Chain A
Amino acid sequence: MPNVIINDIKVEVPENVTVLEAIRLSGGYVPTLCHMKLDDIKIENNPASCRICMVEVAGRRNLAPACVTPIAEGMVIKTHSKKAVNARRTVLQLLLSNHPQDCLKCAKNGQCELQDLASELFITTNPYMGNKSTHKKDVSAAIIRDPSKCIMCRKCETMCNSFQTVGVLSAVDRAFDAVVKPTFDLPLEQTNCTFCGQCVAVCPTGALVAHTYIDEVWQEIDNPKKHVVVQTAPAVRVAIAEEFGYEPGTISTGKLVSALRALGFDKVFDTDFAADLTIMEEATEFLDRIKNGGYMPMLTSCCPGWVKFLEHQFPSLVEMPSSAKSPQQMFGAIAKSFYAEKNNIDPKDMTVVSIMPCIAKKYEAGRPEINSSDEYKDVDYVLTTRELARMIKEAGLNFDTLPEGQYDSPLGESTGAAVIFGRTGGVAEAALRTAYEWITGKNLEAVEFEAIRGYEGVRVAEVKVGERTVRVAVSHGLGNTRKLLEDIQAGKLQLHLIEVMACPGGCVGGGGQPFHHGNFDIIKKRTEALNRADRNMPIRKSHENPAIKALYEEYLGKPASEKAHHLLHTHYLEREWL
């Protein structure tokens, strides 16, 4: 183990670490901007391009970027020598000199790493102001890009290319004009972008932000003619508390419900209800494909980023996913039909708002073919976890003292199988819980399928279902999914069921969640919280959800009925690959 001296203190550090890691391991600190290391998903962004983490290393001609400089025996490092601090401040002043600095009206205000750093280094003046590079804004339904705020940290590029293999974002041009932009500088909506939002999740500034609909939702709430219902996705309840200073992994379902009620939503429902409904339809389709020799394997279709990826990159496989809509869209369809009819509400006077961990859901709600009617959208507005937190703060609600609320009935009732939809492997596990019982007719005791849990990019397992062996695969991240699909196409893998989620760790790591700032442990803690929530549920299998049973009895008939097909199923498009 090498011995080094950091700020005059002798420390022993592990072999093969960087100066940055050595500084952190020894309890020290040096700020970073472009550095991001997500070991659990094997992603590292280390362009060493921002030059913020410069430190002084004795014997070196110039300063060393701590993030990529390997430690060497006997190294003498100073993190805050006059030279290092001066360099760090100057580099930051340079970045700020080419930044719009419209922090007060920036969507990232208060959560911007550049802004935080300016505050941390106490930048009160800037001698380097001058011309700024300007780039046009690009507004899509899900993501807003403002390249003028790009600091070329390249994190988005790494997520888009290395992790997702979508390849839309890349550095273009050079010198002062160098910036990250989409393919051929096209608007995102005309590219292969899946709107997974992982670029937004890692962007340190306001260059990539979610398209916010907070103002529109306030207007709907304040409109007395509108009956406004809201649904909350499973991953939201284990993340939103982070925005109010709680530990990652805190389950705050009750406070979440109370907050939504306090904000003025007429009914507070749960996407989990629709997740159970999804399992009913998907498991039925799965059994049908097994029994009648349908297209195998069956892919899940809950994740809109994944669906769009498939449409662009594997258009020949568009028949492979289940035709079942995602839980968000099933909820919207049921709310504006079953619920509306039951309560004598004209669906046109209803507004369905979703609270999602996801940015692609904003895009999904706008897919024309996904709606069950030509007259209205099934889901009107999609807000992210972060946007909801902003609304709560804007309304001045005290999250700490919010009571434990209960979801409204009937679209608020759900099972443990539904809540794990929010993490990688959860949808497959929920489907197996139901499929097992339907195929075998027996009660499933061990409902937790450990073999498909965890964070490996692709996890394959064989599950004994009575006489049958069902081969299941789970992948998270579209790059991992690409490899899986290529293996299937090459005949290397024979599978029955595949679950895909675009984001790292699944929806808990979605682009709309509170920023993880490069700390994957946060995502793991949210996952554990979902598993806890599952264990805490009295019912853990979707087909045992009484509200779901009632829905079929009263309204839909049985799974895959004509009505169910009309409301709960969709189709996919063959899209071009730019």
Chain B
Amino acid sequence: MGKYKQFILICGGTGCSSSGSGDIIDSFNKALEEKGLKDEVQIVRTGCFGFCEQGPIVKVLPDDTFYVKVTEKDVENIVNEHIIKGRRVQRLLYVEPSEKEKIEEYIKMPFYKKQIRVVLRNAGAINPENVEEYIANDGYSALAKALTEMSQDDVLKSISDSGLRGRGGGGFPTGMKWSFAKRAKGDKKYIICNADEGDPGAFMDRSVMEGDPHSVIEGMSIAAYAIGAQKGYVYIRAEYPLAVQRLRKALNDAREYGFLGENVMGTNFSFDIEVRLGAGAFVCGEETALIHSIEGKRGEPTSKPPFPANSGLWKKPTVINNVETLAQIPVILLKGADWFRKLGTEKSPGTKVFALAGAINNVGLVEVPMGITLREILYEIGGGIRNNKQFKAVQTGGPSGGCIPAKYLDTPIDFDNLIALGSMMGSGGMIVMDEDTCMVDVSKFYLEFTVDESCGKCTPCRIGNYRLHEVLERITSGRAVIEDLDKLEQLGNVIKDTALCGLGQTSPNPILSTINYFRDEYVAHIQDKKCPAGVCKNLIRYDINPAKCVGCTACARVCPVQAITGTVKKAHVIDQDKCIKCGACYATCRFGAISKI
């Protein structure tokens, strides 16, 4: 690499790829070719930078310039101005909304300032398809250290001492899980990487696999060495084609370089990894269901115990770790448990990747130390609420997390605090809601997901969640009675107490947390037949104020169901029986004559 003078890093994650980063790379190649700069400037297709809101992202090194929302048309400009003349293209720099100031260097961007990138250390920094770039960034040196300098117990101790807790949602201490599997008797043992990331809006695992697949392979290999496994599986959803492709390439490269296969790095340790594609069932992210799916059985969970560490895949001791957990392992071994413990909180050490989505300015992926407050994430990193609206709640932990209201924004985030607030860490999704959100509608939305994704095995999840959804349907359409609220709470709590797996046990969380924090909204729906946020269609009504209507006919023309009648220059009327509450008239009227109540 030494011969290159400059580097152009272009995000090749799924987000930026969808908005055309592939074409941008082609254009850069062409432009550099034309200018004869191919040998001086290297183009690197990296993994995700995390700042998806502003994609496609192009970063130029060594001067650390961060260009946002780049298009193919900008390529020539960047090459001519920046690469050749050394002048930054000002119009492509990121402007911090609060400061209104262009930020030239990546390191100074508020989005990145508070982040500590451990899991995402290489995402956006290296070409994920080049194993040598990974090696150049300390890649596989943790595995080498484990295999040549550490006993299995040394590795276990290091991970246990670090206090690392599983990042898939449960937060179970990783070192303890590994120790159970090491101690369990079995002629064969397995390590499985759970890459069946299914929470809507969550894409941290995908980014790691797209941006730094070798870190997962290295983490798995270290785990395998520690517990004595010879075989590993990555269970990854088929909906992640780019991650699958990069992972497969990485596995082949790792085999070629002797990091996988027989006698890894010339030691007695042999280990290989197979990729298994998930077919789209959310519940297969639950570890026992995932195991059944690999075994070719119906993807549904079984009761624990026995835990997979004792009886997992093919009834053999099995460790299942999430992508993010595994990607931390090499760093912990290299930098030590003490270093890791300095990050985060006492009970939840280290960093956590969150996917910010919803009504927030900086949609994207962030990695922050545990213990940071919600306010810091949402306002300092996330750039605050979109369109200057009022914050209402943040939903954490995926579809079965809870909604946390404004009064808890200063709570330090860790596994236990989130549970105490009626939500959970989950895999790290954060969906921000503003004042325009109806909390009843939100809980119905999330429940719809879990109702749909229930495997149908246990009664409370199969029927109970369906019944909860029916009640919510009644509430949002104005057909509920106040007793329905008690029913939601009673049934929700029974489902939490009786469902078989994590999916069912947590699925009432959105309802229970919103009833807890936003009870008045439910009451308004039920007793006043009103949706305060104006979201639930059956409870809103559009009316034309004849005093304000000038008879411009604009509303009548956009109404898709011809519910608005009236003659030109005379007040119009909405036929409430025909109106489908689409809101097109409301958005069209320029005279404020249409009211939504």
Could you list which residues of chain A lie within 8 angstroms of chain B, going by C-beta atoms? Answer: 46-52, 54, 62-63, 65, 68-70, 83, 86-87, 90-91, 94-95, 97-98, 127-128, 130-131, 151-152, 170-171, 173-179
Contact = CB atoms under 8 A, between A and B. Distances in A.
Interface residues of B, number: 33
Interface string B106-143: 00000000000000000000000000000000000000
Contacts of A54: 497-498
A49 B500 contact: yes
Given A90-B464, A175-B456, 6 more contacts: A87-B498, A90-B460, A128-B467, A171-B298, A174-B455, A178-B454
B460 A91 contact: yes
B470 A131 contact: yes
Contacts of A175: 451-456, 462, 466
A95 B298 CA distance: 22
Contacts, number: 108
B549 interface: no
Given A87-B497, A98-B463, A48 B456 contact: no
Contacts of A98: 463
Nearest to B464: A94
Contacts of A131: 466, 470
A49 B470 contact: no
B475 to A, nearest CB: 14
A121 B456 CA distance: 24
Contact of A51 (B281, B456, B459): B459
Nearest to A99: B463
Nearest to A52: B459
Contacts of A90: 460, 464, 490-491, 494, 498
A427 B408 CA distance: 76
Given A48-B302, A127-B487, A94 B451 contact: no
B499 interface: yes
A53 B100 CA distance: 62
Contacts of A170: 298
A65 B305 CA distance: 11
Given A130-B466, A171-B298, A49 B458 contact: yes
A65 B304 CA distance: 10
Query: Which of A70, A170, A176 has its CB near the most chain B CB atoms (within 10 A)?
Result: A176
* B-side interface mostly: helix
A127 to B, nearest CB: 6
A176 B454 CA distance: 8
A176 B497 contact: no
Nearest to B456: A178
Interface of B: 281, 283, 298, 300, 302-303, 305, 451-460, 462-464, 466-467, 470, 487, 490-491, 494, 496-500, 505
20 contacts: A48-B500, A51-B458, A54-B498, A65-B500, A69-B303, A87-B497, A90-B498, A91-B459, A95-B459, A95-B463, A97-B467, A128-B464, A128-B487, A152-B456, A152-B457, A152-B462, A174-B454, A175-B455, A175-B456, A178-B455
Contacts of B452: 175
Nearest to A65: B303
B494 A86 contact: yes
Minimum-distance CB pairs A-B, first 9: A178-B456, A94-B463, A48-B303, A90-B494, A175-B454, A68-B303, A130-B470, A176-B466, A51-B498
Nearest to A170: B298
Nearest to A67: B303
A177 B466 CA distance: 11
A476 B334 CA distance: 60
B328 to A, nearest CB: 27
Contacts of B500: 48-49, 51, 65
A53 to B, nearest CB: 10
B546 to A, nearest CB: 43
Contacts of B457: 47, 49, 152, 171, 178
A538 B487 CA distance: 69
A176 B494 contact: no
B497 A83 contact: yes
Contacts of B305: 70
Contact of B451 (A97, A127, A176, A179): A176
B392 to A, nearest CB: 29
Contacts of B460: 51, 90-91, 94
A68 B306 CA distance: 9
B166 to A, nearest CB: 17
A91 B494 contact: yes
B456 A173 contact: yes
A390 B517 CA distance: 58
B179 to A, nearest CB: 19
Contacts of A83: 497
Contact of A176 (B283, B302, B456, B458): B456
A29 B449 CA distance: 37
